[in-house]
Structure 1
Amino acid sequence: MGDLKQHSLIKAQERLRDQVGHALRAALTAGELKPGTVYSAPGLAAELGVSATPVREAMLDLAREGLVEPVRNKGFRITEVSERELDQCTELRMLIEVPTVGRVTETATTEELEALRPLAEEIVSNARDHN
């Protein structure tokens, strides 16, 4: 029979790669990784507490998505988002979020809506603070 251990190792590496990718996307979204800045895979790996390989793989995934660009022998540069791209994201969010909120308000109980109030207030506060 084949080496089944090899297949489970591959799955474990894929999961770590995905976890690192999610962490890096969150850091990008939160502004913790600055546009125009070059980050090395070993440096990010040290901050995340993982080896450089899953970070490098995750960064290559982000490069395919246009979020970073490889810089030979240095790492990855965070791409800058243009005003046009930000406008497009805003339009897309409005197309998705407004109808979704409308549906939620029609189907949710009063208690469920009240439970969402602190989150809504936090969103308004962050928007007011340009966060």
Structure 2
Amino acid sequence: MTTEHGGLPLPDYDQLPVGTLEHRIRALSVPELDQLLHYEHGHADRAMVVQILTARKRQLDAGAPLSGGNPAAFKPETAGHGRGGSPVSPATSPEPSSPPPHGTPDQRGKPKANRTGG
């Protein structure tokens, strides 16, 4: 199964986070992994990605089965593009207050002991 980037087997391959890529390649065959390796060496040449693809090829060569599913059917994920910001809004934030300088608001300070040595 081939898609974008000149027939790569995973959609939006360049934008996939490494952790997602590691799971997506489980359904790929050795020729498809070779295709991704060739593309990776010619483009970003990310050491971690090359290591993951090579390790998966070794697993398949040792008899590991392909996982079921279609890796191209997943909605592509992108790295580092979260919504950001705080979920706090004026409606959910507490009332502003200043903490007391010492102790708790309902306790008055006690005078210190006589410090004049005597």
Instruction: Calculate the TM-score normalised by the size of structure 2.
Output: 0.28
Q: Which has the higher contact order (CA 8 A, sep 6+)?
A: 2
> Which has more strand, going by share of residues?
1
User: If you compute each CA radius of gyration, which structure gives the higher value, 1 or 2?
Assistant: 2
Decide which structure has greater helix share. Answer: 1
